Amino acid sequence: AQSVTQLDSQVPVFEEAPVELRCNYSSSVSVYLFWYVQYPNQGLQLLLKYLSGSTLVKGINGFEAEFNKSQTSFHLRKPSVHISDTAEYFCAVSEWNYKLTFGKGTLLTVNP
C-alpha cells in the first residue's frame, strides 16, 4: 500500500526567504505525485503534479518540486516566499486507481 510522510508539521520562515517542504513516499509500483495547498477555510487547490518525464516540475505561485525516484522523495520548493503563501501544504500520491493518499500536511507560516 502507498503512504506519504511529510517530515515537518510546521515550517516558519521569514518573507522573501527560500523554503523547502519535504515529502517522502512509499509504493511498490509507479506513482503519480501531487502537492496541494489549503488556505484557511478553503478547499484543496492543486499546486503541481508529477506524472512522468522531467523530474523538475513547476506549479502555480512560483512553486516547484523535484521527483527523486532513488530517494522516493518529492520535495516542494520556492526561492522567495510571500506572506500570502501562509497555508497548509499536502503531499499526495496515487497509483493506477488515481485514489489520492495524503500526507499529514505541513503548515507553512511566513512572517514579515
Partner 1 sequence: EPEVTQTPSHQVTQMGQEVILRCVPISNHLYFYWYRQILGQKVEFLVSFYNNEISEKSEIFDDQFSVERPDGSNFTLKIRSTKLEDSAMYFCASSQGGAVGAFFGQGTRLTVV
CB 108 within 8 A of CB 81: yes
Q: Which of 10, 56, 104, 111 binds partner 1 (CB under 8 A)?
A: 104
Query: Which residue lies nearer to partner 1 by CB, 17 or 56?
Result: 56
Q: Between residue 15 and residue 44, which ones bind partner 1 under the rule CB under 8 A?
A: 32, 34, 36, 42-44
Q: Residue for cell digits 505561485?
A: 61
Q: How many helices (H) and strands (E) does the chain have?
A: 0, 12
Residue 106: CB minimum distance to partner 1, A = 11
Positions in the binding site for partner 1 (CB under 8 A): 32, 34, 36, 42-46, 49, 51, 90, 92, 94, 97-105
